[in-house]
Amino acid sequence: MASDRQYIDLLIEDGGIVLDAGAQPVYTDNRHSIGQDIKHAVLESGLARALIGERSPTLRADVRTQIRILVEQDRRLVPGTAELREEAADRYLLTATTYDFGHLEVTL
């Protein structure tokens, strides 16, 4: 596992950049940065909204597959490791394994 900061990004929470006490942006790195990128890719694709809005179990399964396919296009993830599990009607847990930083969990 790599311990250096390979991937650095601004920390985003609730749709906005997180600022420290001095009003400077807070940074995130590595596993968290990858998770944040994946979450934003899913949200920007519109698939998360489609999943929550869909009532048909068959079509929900199709959207979950589309999300897994989208996520596994990220070169930093081990192919075949992405899984999406429903935690509540409006919340899903996406898990995957990164090549350099191990297990990753993202709440959608």
Tell me the whole-structure pTM to 2 decimals: 0.84
For residue 71, what are the contacts with CB-CB under 8 A and spacing of at least 6? 38, 41, 42, 77, 82, 94, 96
Confidence band for 74, pLDDT divided at 50, 70 and 90: very high
Confidence band for 3, pLDDT divided at 50, 70 and 90: low
50-61 pLDDT tens trace: 988 888 989 999
